[in-house]
Amino acid sequence: MTVEAPASAGEIQTIVAARRLRDTRTVFIGVGRPSTAAILARMVHNPDLVLVYESGTIGAKPFHIPLSIGDGELAQTADSVVTVPEMFNYWIGPGRIDVAFLGAAQIDRHANLNSTVIGDYEHPKTRLPGAGGAPEIAASCGEVIVIAPHAKRTFVEKLDFCTTVGHGDGPGARERLGFRGKGPTAVITDLGVLEPDPDTKELVLTQIHPGTDLDEIREKTGWELDVSDDLRTTEPPTAEELAKLRELLDR
């Protein structure tokens, strides 16, 4: 199997996210790169992976990347379709979903997320889509993987608004709030992977993608980034991963 062009940063990010689902039973996803990563995971790593979309489709098996969570192919290929209230009350709230993918406009050092406003809440520079189900998802799913571009405007010292609690203000925050799930276990960017320190719950750079410079990552992070003593270089995409991803993107 041959692949002509080298992998782009976005392709590596998608492939790394797909690899995280190798041993996962169920994943909760929206659209965009998380959906692409989940479909790729089913194609290459985990054919039994159950895709759960926020529109209420359980066990969807899309052949194409969905245009939206209301894409007809999701319902047509799903094992079951439930209402959104049932999705949150029966599947998410009790912790029946193993992994959830989330994105955000801003993320801080404790993996708290902002998808509400940029700037002052009353007079924002930008009004964003809002919470949706992200707060409940982050509170109750087994774990959360955040997929975001690595930029200084995204990785900020202080959120303009806290939409979704990741690890709050540090150790014990989730327990005090009565949250069920582990919270964010990884933040996958186009430059590397950050994971919460077990003791401080602050994000630490644990993995750097091929061709990426550590100084660039530090420059694009809005706080003094801690780097793991065991910093790894991401395993390059295999020919199969890259070929299948490009096949999926071209459909």
d(CA 15, CA 180): 28
The single residue of 54, 136, 202, 241 carrying the catalytic annotation is: 54
Task: Tell me the C-alpha to C-alpha distance, in Å, between residue 162 and each of 45, 93, 97, 128.
Answer: 34, 20, 23, 12
Q: Which amino acid is at 81?
A: V
Residue 54: active-site member: yes
Cα angle 54, 57, 63 (rounded to 5 degrees) comes to 105
Q: What is the distance in angstroms between the CA of the first residue and the CA of the last residue of the chain? A: 19
CB 128 within 8 A of CB 117: yes
E strands, the chain, where?
Answer: 26-29, 50-53, 57-60, 80-81, 99-102, 106-107, 113-114, 117-119, 124-127, 143-147, 184-188, 192-196, 203-208, 226-233
Which residue reads 């995409």 in tokens?
237
Active site residues: 54
